[in-house]
Structure 1
Amino acid sequence: MTSIFELTTRPAEELFFSRGDRNDPRLGETVGRTEQDYEKAEIVILGCPQDEGVRRNNGREGAALAPFKIREQFYKLTTFNINGAIVDIGDVKIADTLEKTHETHFEIVKQALSDGKKLIVIGGGNDVSYPDGKAMSEVFGVRNWIAINVDAQLDVRLAEQRNSGTPYRQLLDEELLLPRYFYEVGFQSHFCSPIYYEYIRSLGVHRISLELLRSRSEPDQEIKEQIRQNFINHSSSMSTFFGFDLDVVRSSDAPGTSAPSPLGLRAGEFIQLVKYAASLANTKLIEFSEVNPKYDADDRTTKLVAIAMHRFCSGAV
């Protein structure tokens, strides 16, 4: 079997920040990066530095820079409330086509999930949801996993080539994801094709728009209730996947994204949903995509994702 360390490139050493103060340790000093660290780790960080899917979807380029820039902020954070062991296995080796990159990505994620790890995947484009979801389906079984797409868009586009707008359409059409276990969360109707909305509605996909989230006293209340019902009706052992596309956050809080919007989740609401993902014992994979550092301001977007990763790590183990 090919080691996942052979399918990835190591993260740059300069990212692993240290203040040189034993009374103020930072994640750059404590997160592992070797095969030995992998064996002991509970959480694995994996980057996918490509934006080919974004280009194919006529989006603005730059998401390929995100894994480096997010790590740059993440490793400056403190170890406060971080109890479990974390390892950063680096970045997926990027191939000459998106399809080949996805094959490599799938093999890495499948192996890590099979090894009992929880994953944080840093895109890149939102197309990574396809290999991530395919790995979830293969490892846990199509009837045993739930997918939550937290995004301003639906990402069920039909296209001749896969792209950042097609991942969940691929998972549904290939019967790797059951519609009744799929949640579209935070979408904005003015960004959604009525034809694609009708497609998910007719399948019975759970739909929680930005307006519906905002109609509740807490932004995670609606999703909590709907997911709770799925767990009760089926099995408390169901594994869960959360895909966070940063386009879902309003541009004043997250200016560096592939498709910014003045409307969206507030930064605090976004973090609350990440903390909810961490609170579920069976959340196996969480991904952050569509961060575009080329258009960021004061590193606000990369810092937001870094804080979200910190909240997930402090709440998931």
Structure 2
Amino acid sequence: MSEISISRRRLFAIGAGAAAIAVLPGVSSALSPIPVRIVTGGKGGVFYPYGEGLARVLSAHGGNLKATAEATGGSVDNARLVHAGKADVGFATFDSVFDAVHGAGAYAKDGKLELRVLAVLYDSYLHVVARKDAGISSIADLKGKRVSVGSPGSSAETIAGRVLEAAGIDPAHGVERSNLGAAESAEALKAGRIDAFFWAGGVPTAAVQELAAAGKPEIVFLSTAAEQAAIDKKYPGLYRPLTLPKSAYAGMAADVSGLGVANVLIVSVKAKDALVTELLEGIFDNLDAIHKLHPEAAKLSLASAAAATAVPFHPAAEAFYKAKGT
């Protein structure tokens, strides 16, 4: 028998064996890339660069995961997309997720959404930024002013409404309302089209950082400490006091006290255990790379990710953290 015949027979055997392996249950998925769609937020905030970087890390080092990040309106959009199966992972503020699973607030018409927590990430600070020349020194001063309350479908819009209400201002009619994301709000303030804007995001938020550094117009950050008690009474456990340090942005003369809210990664209740586990392994096996994505990403740890919340973790996530001793 010739060497050519033997080689051909071996190749045929190898090919047949590979084909047999490919049809075994669970093996084909291990050989093929698993697409993961991550929904984030506006490009001027923190969700987008964090999510885009997360997608890169997972695609490069997350086993068979092939992740992509998509800019969205923010938390509300993301919760709906993940619930509907149109996204696999979403960034969201915790208050928005809490409302989503209870069919409350922005989700009153949606009904209860089937979501679970994958990881707790970092806290967002509620930025309330105003032109210094607009004569605004408190939330109450926003009455009748031109104010962006955040992009439609963002948690900023939800929190802004609650803060305005706590200050005795009708969120719908008490201000000249517009709905802009972080980058669009900063540009509109700079151009003189609005007097102030709300933005819930990590520190620093790129759009706010650039606006403050430019110094034209001069800006001030408004405290929401006076509204804290009323908000806590109506929405217990969703927000906590946070301080914006004067080192956060150029031109700040003093620390500013305000509201904070946790940010989380969410998945569907129906997400497969294997996918959830692979996502978490991809994140925590490459934590050094994650920490380099953004100053807020540098805060992530196993312990912080597993912090208890009023919305349950996905069972596979709970098992993952338990196995890691957290």
TM-score in terms of structure 1 length: 0.34
- Of the two, which has the highest radius of gyration? 2
More strand by share: 2
